Each structure stands twice: as structure tokens, then as C-alpha cells.
Amino acid sequence: MDVAPSPPALRGPERELFDAAEAGSADRVSSLLSAADRPDPNWRGVKGRTALLAAARRGCQECTRLLLRAGAVPHVGTDVGVSARHIAEHG
């Protein structure tokens, strides 16, 4: 599955999801993913980073699990090729 780059957003549900994952807030990630206007879990922000990558970097296993269950793609990389899969395999 190819995921096209997303334009950076300063606000909105995708940015909120990214921020929650980056903070390691599994409750907030779950809440956002359950909302009627559910954010795209594969949205790519600044430098191509995704919420899944942010959760993996944070080490938040619950956030990672929630995002994967919501359809986040683990091999989507940043602008320099780092992906959540890479972090899981190599730290």
C-alpha cells in the first residue's frame, strides 16, 4: 500500500492524533480514533512523520497497537526513510 505525502497541518484531527501519539497518550489516541470524524492514521506531517512513527519513537506500545489496528502502515517512512518498522527492528 502506497501512502501519498500529506500536507502539514497546524490543527485538525490528524495533527491532534500525531500530538497524542507523540505524547504517549493512549487514551487520547483511542478517543480520536473512535470519533465520527476519525483522523487518517497514515497522515504524514512535517518531514513525513506519522503518528505511528511518533508512538514508536516514544515507546508507547498501546498507542502503536491502537494505530496499527486503525490501519496505520508500519513501513511508511519519513522524508529520510525512517519508518516505525525500522524503529521496531533497530531501535
Other Cβ atoms within 10 Å of 83 Cβ, number: 19
Q: What is the pTM for the complete model shown?
A: 0.82
Instruction: Collapse the DSSP code of 3 into the 3-class scheme (helix H, G, I; strand E, B; otherwise coil) and give the result.
Output: coil
**47 phi, psi to nearest 5 deg:** 65, 15
Contact in structure between 51 and 41 (CB atoms under 8 Å): yes
Q: For residue range 41-53, what is the model confidence (pLDDT) as tens digits? A: 999 887 888 999 9
At 55, the amino acid letter reads: A
What do you get for the CA distance between the two ends of the chain, in Å? 24
Q: For residue range 6-62, what is the model confidence (pLDDT) as tens digits? A: 555 567 899 999 999 999 999 999 999 999 989 999 998 878 889 999 999 999 999
